[in-house]
Copies of this chain bind each other. A is one copy, B any other.
């Protein structure tokens, strides 16, 4: 659900915009939460970095998506937000937003509903990560992300990004895609992947 569908007017009035260059960080894990963001343009990823330096991509937010929803109820951000491309974001300050939501049960309900969606998406991510085989993992992703026609997946970002999102090395992803393509189940052109059989 896009932010515009539930954001109370009062909170909108208090919003501030900001531009980010690719690679720039919007907030860091442990930083004090100042509010919830909406991505206006570009892509911003939420990641956690482990001690070995590997990034776990938790979410990729694009235009219309909210980020850091959970920060409304928490004093600190619990992951890093980094712009994957040049991007523009809008900050809805926590104080005003929380107040507005408390005034407006309908909006609060809609907000809860977006959180519930998030929960479902995250569970799907965990399901995906549970799939051991790279091939099946990729298929799972393709099946879930097929567009309206049930057979075309439009990639956001690079294949390298996708590899990180899937928890594979880029090499493994390249090989797996090449393999599936050889087997005839998909075709690739530019940033699109087309399934031979709709899901």
Residue numbers of A with Cβ under 8 A of B are 46, 48, 50-52, 54, 56, 58, 69-70, 72-74, 78-79, 101-103, 105, 108-109, 111-113, 115-120, 122-123, 125-127, 129-132, 136, 140, 167
Contact = CB atoms under 8 A, between A and B. Distances in A.
Give 5 closest A-B pairs by Cβ, nearest first.
Answer: A56-B130, A122-B122, A70-B116, A115-B115, A129-B129
Contacts of A79: 123
The majority secondary structure among interface residues of chain A is helix
Contacts of A101: 109
B116 A69 contact: yes
Contact of A127 (B52, B58, B111): B58
A126 B122 contact: yes
Contact of A116 (B48, B50, B74, B130): B74
A111 B130 CA distance: 29
Given A116-B70, A122-B122, A50 B127 contact: yes
B58 A126 contact: yes
Nearest to A49: B127
Contacts of A127: 48, 50, 56, 58
Contact of A119 (B48, B51, B111, B115): B115
30 contacts: A46-B123, A48-B127, A48-B130, A50-B136, A50-B140, A56-B129, A56-B130, A58-B123, A58-B126, A69-B119, A70-B116, A70-B120, A72-B116, A73-B117, A74-B116, A78-B123, A79-B123, A105-B108, A108-B112, A112-B112, A112-B115, A115-B115, A115-B119, A118-B119, A119-B119, A122-B122, A126-B126, A126-B129, A129-B129, A129-B167
